[in-house]
Amino acid sequence: MVLKILLIIAVVVIIYFVFFKKKPLKNSDKSDVSDMVECSACGVYTQIEDSIISNNKYYCSKECLEKR
Ligand SMILES: [Zn+2]
């Protein structure tokens, strides 16, 4: 009886962690670390999708690309 209750609690806790812990972790990892690049002209950090890549350097905007 007690073992069964403990097993149910364990399953619920595992489900809770799988659904609530994984999602935010994955999101913050992606946007904070791997997807941020530093602009070579002004030093501002931008999302890699929003940046302009030229000569293996990242720029936050067209103005910075022309300014360099
Ligand atoms: Zn810039």
User: Long-range contacts of range 52-57, CB-CB < 8 Å, 24 or more positions apart?
Assistant: none
Write b or e for each residue in 37-54: b if 16 or more Cβ atoms lie within 10 A of its Cβ, otherwise e: bebbbeeeebeeeebeee
What spacing in Å lies between the alpha carbon of 68 and ligand 1's midpoint?
A: 9
pLDDT of 31 reads 46
Q: What is the CATH number of the domain that holds 65?
A: 3.30.60
pLDDT of 19 reads 83
Q: Are residues 23 and 43 in the same domain?
A: no
pLDDT surpassing 80 at residue 63:
yes
What spacing in Å lies between the alpha carbon of 33 and ligand 1's midpoint?
A: 18
What spacing in Å lies between the alpha carbon of 54 and ligand 1's midpoint?
A: 13
Q: In terms of residue numbers, what domain contains 24?
A: 1-32
Q: How many whole angstroms separate alpha carbon 66 and alpha carbon 68?
A: 6
What spacing in Å lies between the alpha carbon of 49 and ligand 1's midpoint?
A: 14
What spacing in Å lies between the alpha carbon of 47 and ligand 1's midpoint?
A: 12
pLDDT of 21 reads 72
pLDDT tens string 15-55? 998 888 765 555 555 444 568 999 999 999 999 989 999 99
Q: Return the structure tokens found at 55.
A: 């000569």
Q: How many whole angstroms separate alpha carbon 51 and alpha carbon 45?
A: 9
pLDDT of 57 reads 94
How many domains does the chain contain in total? Answer: 2
